[in-house]
Structure 1
Amino acid sequence: MGFPKGRRPVVVAVAALLALVAAAAIGYRVLAPAEVSTPAKGDLPPAGTPAIGTVGRLPVAPLIVDGRLRVYAAERQVYADQPADSRYRVTPFWSYRRWPAQLNGVLAEGTTVVSRWSDGKLVALDARTGRVAWRADGPEPGAGFTSRRTGAATVWDPRGISVAAGPPGRPVLVVSGEGRLRGYALADGGELWRVDGDPDCRTDLGTTAAGRVVSVDSCAGPATVEFRDVATGGVATRWRPPDAGTELTVTPVGCLTPRSQCRGLRTSGPGDAAGRGWLVGPGEPVAAPTLDVEDVTLAGDLAVGNIGPVLTGREARTGKERWRRGDLGEVRVIATEPGRVHVLTGAKELVTLDSVTGAERSRFPLTVGREGTGWDPGRAYAADGYVAVERLREGARPDDDDPAWFLTAEPVVLAAT
């Protein structure tokens, strides 16, 4: 039995409309903005003391938090596993996803993990549970997930997001993007201050150990370094290196974490390729010639780097030598953390030194299984006595794709020192 001829077009039209509505509903469910939070189902284990040596290899770069778990970045996800000394990546302890925004940066301070997204949203997670602690709107970064497949740039070197000590017991999160600079209370995400400017003539660099926000401003004249109070956002000091030209490149040095709580700067300009080093504190920067060399870094109050084949630790302010190690051969300082300097030898041995005395704390080959030492170090990171290093193919070039860039599918080697 069919429909009358006069009703048949109406039925067809209704059916088509219903199909369109169903397709739209499905499309909305798939493509609509979404947030999926999967908190931990149990408690974190007590902090342990891992055995010194290579722990294992990982496909992605870990951010060590509280010495007990590892936090990772993916294009639309931040997640964690534990324990920190697990040989391989294991089932996530907790996970947080957003769609369609992309993860742009991750920063950890204490047990708070702050994630920054391409739409400007800031989401803080309690690292112990994975639950959302707070959300806030921030400046858009102007980019999405910019890391290679390990996510190292997102967790080890996030741009436009840093932290500093504010009033006693109140760390301040500083976020910048597209000319806007914001300060937030890390505890609850409350906005403390805001500064707007021209992104074409101001570059925000990070924070100092003295509680300042560092920017380079060239909007009203020659490039000038601005130091803002992290608690209020107000300009405390404007400074230019003596004899500086109109152009100025400024690089933070000796940061506790990338671009956070830095103790020094290196400045350079046209015709000054070597650059000049400075110590930063509550007032104007103080010249530190020991930091003029690009490969020298700050470890506490000491400038650590090579003088020929000898690794030395010298007082950054006076240049007075405090220790030297001529027994290591050609080495490269790959990471520092409070009290420790981690260097990699030409034979791919990871040597950890006491940053104050130069005494050796540990030494072992940074190898996994039978993979050998035929690789070049990429990005590196250290926290809580752990060191993680990307292993690159020898001779790899920055424009290579990931398979040609990384040594293996699990290119990150993790070690306990």
Structure 2
Amino acid sequence: MAEMKTEDGKKERYFLYYDGESVSGKVNISLKKPGSRLEHQGVKIEFVGQIELYYDRGNHHEFTSLVKELARPGELTHNTSFEFEFNQVEKPYESYSGTNVRLRYFLRVTIVRRLSDITREMDLLVHTLSSYPEMNNSIKMEVGIEDCLHIEFEYNKSKYHLKDVIVGKIYFLLVRIKIKHMEIAIIKRETTGSGPNTFNENETIAKYEIMDGAPVRGESIPIRVFLAGYDLTPTMRDINKKFSVRYHLNLVLVDEEERRYFKQQEITLWRKGERLRRPLQQQLMAQQTISQKNQQSSFPQSHPQGQPPEFAPAMQSTGAEPPSPQQSQSPMHEEAPEQLPPAKPSPQAHTRHQHTTATPQPKPQLEPPDEDMSTPKLPSPPTEPPTSIDSPEEEFLEAQAGSPSDEEEPGEEEQERVKPSPGVSQEPVPVAQ
């Protein structure tokens, strides 16, 4: 919902739409008396965009018109509702209500009858959003009266959105007249018609005093105007070749004899999007993050042999490598997976690997007995350590070592045979095939 002034100057609230949005709703038809009948030649609804010139009210210039049939000719015997939808309606211009012209969008429902039609209208409000201008240069100009007054004014930008702030400065280069005060005003200029039938209407939107007293040479006066508190519209140029709306900054100096010196500078106003619309990729990333959190919360709290969730098997073995956590998710990622130090190989994992593969492993070389056996030695690291825990093969081996299946389970003799003694080196011992 948004507010807009009517012809009477009052503000009313309307449903707000943007260009390209669909317009949908429901039409409710109620009979005056229960049990009565209403014969009709059809029910239709129209989406209309038109321009009305107040000096030519007999002619309405329509630039958009869409029609949908709600009911065929027949008879209504009870209260009825009809749903409608206009998909992705093009709305090229913004709604506007000015001094001599009005641009409006409305829905019109018509019950066609033989003698007189029954018609109802409902106004809608349309805003056109713009993007940041590519070129937004500052305004700098030197003006004055020869040998009397020379000033230089500067504004930070030439294009402002409706909630922006105008920042500028006034420099006095030559002052030979007695200035009483200086003021700045925002003027809206509405132009309707064309050729000899052109009408201009100026309206002062805001005016305030920025300086009081006589300045001296070299003085600098700051300017700061907040636009959010004023009833402004975007700049409109040659709308459907019917009217234009432009805005000017008017700088006025008044001397002690009440003579006025002014300089006008046109500025461009545009409407900035009030609601954020994230790109599609960011929306997908947000949905993916939520799904990842749901998957992590669905893992059980307890795992076999105290393994973390990353090493818990996600599915039963079917002869193929199970997908890793990164393979089961969407390929869109921004952050790299956290690298953990490679886990130490377990003797049970080597034993398990020897039972599942058909190729025999070479026998490791035992250390000579004459070395000092008082200090137990740790098992040597593998020749090719895994670069990441994301490797499907290493993850599969760790998962098998953590949760052995019921189909193949080594006997107690084999487990005792590979169990390291506390006083000898913990090298893996070969198992008879």
> Normalization by structure 1: what TM-score?
0.15
* Greater share of residues in helix: 2
Q: Greater CA radius of gyration, 1 or 2? A: 2
Q: Given the two structures, how large is their TM-score scaled by the length of structure 2?
A: 0.15
